[in-house]
Each structure stands twice: as structure tokens, then as C-alpha cells.
Chains A and B, each alone.
Chain A
Amino acid sequence: MATRQTRALARTMMAPAVVLLLLWMIVPLGMTIYFSFQNYNLLNPAMQSFAGWFNYEFFVTDPAFVQSMVNTLLLVGGVLAITVIGGTLIALLLDQPMFGQGIVRILVISPFFVMPPVAALIWKNMLMHPGYGIFAHIARFFGISPIDWFAQVPLFAVILIVAWQWLPFATLILLTAMQSLSEEQLEASEMDGANAFNRFFYIILPHLARAITVVVLIQTIFLLAIFAEILVTTNGGPGYNSTNLTFLVYRTALLNYDIGGGSAGGVIAVILANIVAIFLMRAVGKNLDT
């Protein structure tokens, strides 16, 4: 059906996007790869020289490296778990008849509109502060000693903040998917005598599979790059407890100004992200083909 002419046209229409993205990928990536083989400290530019694989070796032997990988996975996994499970439950709730549904929906989606540094500042100061935060006040009201979130459970605290930001996104997509489920299917199952529990697990959840993969894919891309929330709240600590890979690259490239090491870290982060991506794409690709 597609003629040669339309194919050519299709290619022309894609060209600007592909070319621009190719440049946007190749130029920084090329420079990063180049710098990753250089001894180059921004504060000591006279010392620039060829480094071989030393920067890579130096980056992966960083005492924080292994933990930062684990933390990255925990952060992505934790936020995904909270947002997918929480998002499904909230979507299920919002799908029920109630008064003021529109307003509730506005309340629920609002966190998505808050810029990451602001979200982190609000949570760090006004909610999680061990002295004056609301959580501390609540704890003291019940006679419990307040949790010092960023010292005792730093990674979990960061996960909570990020999950709060992404919960609306998951909820919205899952809600839209849920609402596309035909009424007849549900009613038919009700006639068959399926209880709410069965209805959820045998009809609603399979229907949501596709939406869940989409949520996982999109969020993972953003979550791998989480940085602002950590910078504002814990600075990666205490110890390396909340240092993720992005933060480790930041520490190398913008605190040490070790551009060589930071570039090597950047290349490693890209490779790891793409490995994660390939796995994801496999899973998602299957779901999206149909």
C-alpha cells in the first residue's frame, strides 16, 4: 500500500528529528568518550594528558561504586514498586462513584507539577526535618521519638520523595487504562458470580499489564537520572548510603572537577542504563507490538 513516494516522504519527515537527536547524542557522547581517556582536571588544566583506561579503572574502584549501583537499583525499584502498586490502588479508588471526583483527581495529580528541587526542599525541611518537620511533630504527639529520616533511612527517604512526585503519573495512566475496560466485561463477570477480588486479579490486572509496562519504561528513564532530590536532601550520605550512580558521577565531575573520571563515569552510566533499557525494551516491546 505504501508507495515508494510515500516512503521517501516518510523518511524526509523523520530526518530532522533523527539528525538532531543523532547530533545531540554523538557530540556530547563523543566529547565524553574523548575526555574519559584524558587526565583532565578542570582546576589544573595544564596537566592534561592521555590516560588510557586509568579513568575507568579509577571510577569502578571507587569505594562507593558498588554501593552506588545497588542504590541506583533500589531507588528505581523502590519508586517503581510504590508508584505501580500505589497507583493501581488509587486508580481503582478514583474509578469508584464518589462526590467531588474532579477535585480529588486534581489533588492527586498535583505533586507531578512540582519541580524536583522544590519537592525536595519541602519534604526535607517542612515534613522530614527531625526537629521542626510535621512528621516529627506527629511522632512526638504519639510519644514516639521522631525519625531522623536523612540520617537513619536516607535512601528510603529519597525514595519516598521521588515516589510522591511520580505517583500521579502512574495513577493517571493506570486510571485511563482502567476506564477503557469495557463495562460489559465487568458486568459479565459479575453475573458469573466473580467477587471483587477475582474481578481485580483475573480481569482488571491483566488489562492493566500494558499500562504498567509503559509506566515502568517511562519512569525508569527518568529515575535512572535522579539527582536533584539527593543533592538537596542527603548529598549522597551518610557514608555512601544514598549515593546513586548519577550522584557519584556528579561528585567526581563537579566536586572534584575530575573531568576525565567524571566522563568515564558518564560512559559507564550510559552503558549500564542501556543494559537496563534493553531488558526493558524486550519486555515492553512484546507488550506494545500488538
Chain B
Amino acid sequence: MKNTPFLVGALTIALVGSASAQSLTIATVNNGDMIRMQELSSGFTDETGIELNWVVLEENTLRQRVTTDIATGGGQYDIMTIGNYEVPIWGRQGWLAPLDDLAEDADYNVDDLLPAIRGGLSVDGTLYAVPFYGESSMIMYRTDLLEEAGLEMPENPTWEFVAEAARAMTDRENDINGICLRGKAGWGENMALITSMANAFGGRWFDEDWNPQFDQPVWNEVLNFYVDLMNDAGPAGASSNGFNENLALFQQGRCGMWIDATVAASFVSNPDDSEVADMVGYAVAPDTGNDNRGNWLWSWNLGIPESSQQKDAAKQFLAWATSQEYTNLVAENEGWANVPPGTRTSLYENPDYIEAAPFAEITLDAINAADTVNPTVDPVPYVGGQFVAIPEFQGLGTTVGQLFSAALAGQSSVDDALSQAQSVAEREMRRGGYMN
């Protein structure tokens, strides 16, 4: 074992080496905007002398890592990238440091944050995280294909119109699918779409007494509508398609329409990546004539766990990364179309941005219209548009997503999927003490 001393020495060096000047550990997700933030963050270090250690993980892994860490008080991270799903739950538990100082800082201009987004990050008026980018949902469509089909996108499209147009645009021989929708199982994948679709149809996850509603006729209508539409006009293998796969399909000109997060607009209109960049039109997400467009509202945010020892430095970084100056910095380096959207009113008043981003106005309208307190027609006991902001939703949403994905793949019937979803949801609600 003559190598052991060397090893011990090396271990010691590795351990001692880590304890140096002030440094923050930031956990973030590997989306394009965050990677850009990481690239540009050397500017922050130059300005403040604060070193940054980045932990960049794939979304599911990241969520599992940071949740375990914050719930056990592990204290591994000074800044966490979290969704507006987590913020209210964690804020209520007292796990996140309140950001009152930021809210009071005139330079930060907290009132510039979009009210809908800011509301989702506050618990009883206290801000617990700041938004890095925000999104709602919209229709992206191929103007050329729609015209060929002899149709015109109305100002307020309905799901009925979407279905009609999708079927009309489908051209199996040329591998053109009328519509691409998420089918991959996951609470943040297919369930985001299907839940917001259900909102538009007047369905809800739970009634006021937390009784699951999958046994109601409206869910049957929603799921049948979705499965039929995808079978008639969707791409092959739709049950494995998430945001990424649909993005690639759309960029390659294989989709007539795509209803998804508004952030996708800047990808499909980027001529470097998209073959159809100059043929994309945008419209608000469909309703069913009731003006409920699904109330999709998502934001990726930066928050500071209470267990962090360096809250002041962490707040400095939060202010930097979510400021107007940061937006300008991205615009200088990457162009206006690539700035993180959906967080500040000022961005949508900026003529440079409006010019570079033809989807800006619809994005803003969609975000402003999203009502997460009254997401659907009937009253609900929960908050959230395309998700239900309760701790149990991650697991429950994923399981239900699996069942619906199986229905889309043709491995089970819509009725079976719904009745299984109902019994799973009842189980979880009893387990969580919501209902008896």
C-alpha cells in the first residue's frame, strides 16, 4: 500500500484548496439562458471579487438535488434556481431567505417585475425569489402551411379551430404534422400542456374539498380530444416528445403548429437553428370560446436558502442576474432576441426588443392574462396554472403523466387512463391528509 500516503496527501490538498476567498455556490439548470448567465458571470466576479462555483445539472436531477438539500438543511448551495412551483411551498416552510432588502432597493426596481410573475414568487406579500425568465404558452404556427390549407389564424383561436387547422395542414407524405404537442410523461412535460388544456375546457384537478376530478366528463372530453388530435395530426412517436423534441421537429419544418412555452418563440425564429425562421406566426393560446387560455405561467427564479452563510453576497448576485443591466449585457453580447424574457415590464417597452422579437407582445399579453389563483372555470382549492402548487404534485403529476402518455401511445384506453389517474390521485390525497 505504498500509494496510500500519496492519496492522503492529494485528498488533503483537494480539501484545503476549496476554502479560499468569498465564493458562492450556485445550482442551476442546463437551459440555454442559464448557460449564458454562467458565461457572462465573469463580469460579476470582476466587479465584486466574489467567486462563483457553478453546479449545472439537468432539470430533474437539479430539482432532486436542491430539494433534498434545502429540506434537510444541507447547506450546500448559496443560490438555487427554482421554479414558481417550489417558491411558495418552500417560502411557506421558511426555507428561503426573504428578499425584502432587494424589494426595497430603488436600483433594483422591483415594481418593474411583471405582476403575475412577482405574485407567484411572494408569500403573504414577502418576496422569496426573483425571476430569471418567465413564460406562458402560445401558438407558434407556419404561416405558409396555414395559407396553403386555405385558413387564417383568428385573433382568438379556439381549440376547435386548432384541431381543424391541424388536420388540414397534415401532409403525411411530406412528413408534415399538423400539430406537435408534448406527449412525454412528466409533471413539467405533458401534464403542463394537458393541465392548461383542461383549464381551457373547464376541467380542474380537484374540487374545493380536494376530491380529484378525473372521473368528470370534462376530463374525458379533454383527453379524447388530445389523443384523437395527436393520432390524426401529430408526429409519430409523440408520446416520447417533450419540449426539446418538438422544438427540433418544428425547427426542421415538420410541424404545422406547436402550442408550448412562449420562450420557444425565440428559438424557432432564430435563423441559425431554425429552417423555418421566416415563416413562423404567433397567436395566443387557444380557448374554448370562454376566454380561458389555460393560464400557463412558469418562471425560473433565483432564491437563497436560509441555510446559506453568505446571504449578502448571494443577494448581490441575484440583483445582478435579474436586473435590467443584465438584460442589456445579454443584448450587447448576443442580440436583443436572446435576452431572458418575461420578467420585466421595461423590456416590453423597449423598442429595440419589440423590433427584434415579433412574439414580444403576445408573450406579454399571455403572461399578464395568466391567472394562477382562478386557473379554470370552477373554483379550486389550489394555486397554479399548468400545475398544482402542493408538495405531492411532483410525484402525482408524473404518475398521471405516465398514464396519459400510455393512452397517447395506444397502450391503454382513455377511459382506463382516467380511472387509474382518479384512483391514484385519491390515494395520494388521502395520504397527504387532504381528504378522508
Contacts and interface: CB of A to CB of B under 8 A. Distances in A.
Direct contact of A and B (CB under 8 A): yes
Contacts of A132: 248
Contacts of A237: 185, 401-402, 405-406
B423 A241 contact: no
Nearest to B60: A231
Interface string A212-247: 000000000000000000010001111111000000
Given A63-B424, A241-B411, A254-B68, A130 B236 contact: yes
Contacts of B72: 42
Contact of A42 (B71, B248, B431, B432): B71
Contacts, number: 104
B224 interface: no
Nearest to A152: B409
A151 interface: yes
The number of chain A residues touching the other chain, given as a range, is 35 or more
Contacts of B394: 255-257
B412 A239 contact: yes
Nearest to B401: A237
Nearest to A235: B185
A256 B395 contact: yes
Given A238-B406, A239-B411, A239-B412, A42 B68 contact: yes
B240 interface: yes
A80 B184 CA distance: 29
A251 interface: yes
Nearest to B395: A256
A252 B402 CA distance: 15
Contact of A238 (B89, B249, B411, B431): B411
A145 B408 CA distance: 18
Given A238-B185, A238-B402, A258-B431, A148 B395 contact: no
Give the residue among B64, B68, B239, B245 with the most A Cβ atoms within 10 A. B239
B398 A255 contact: yes
B237 A238 contact: no
Nearest to B405: A238
Contact of A43 (B89, B411, B424, B428): B89
B396 interface: yes
B170 interface: no
B246 to A, nearest CB: 11
Contacts of A130: 236-237, 240
Contacts of B388: none
B316 to A, nearest CB: 29
A145 B239 CA distance: 16
Nearest to B398: A255
Given A148-B239, A236-B402, A63 B71 contact: no
A43 B89 CA distance: 8
Given A42-B72, A256-B392, A241 B399 contact: no
26 contacts: A42-B71, A43-B67, A43-B391, A45-B71, A58-B431, A63-B423, A63-B427, A130-B236, A130-B240, A132-B248, A148-B236, A148-B237, A151-B237, A151-B240, A152-B409, A235-B402, A237-B405, A237-B406, A238-B408, A239-B405, A239-B406, A239-B417, A241-B406, A251-B399, A254-B64, A254-B68
Interface of A: 41-45, 47, 58, 61-64, 130-132, 145-146, 148, 150-152, 231, 235-241, 251-252, 254-258, 261
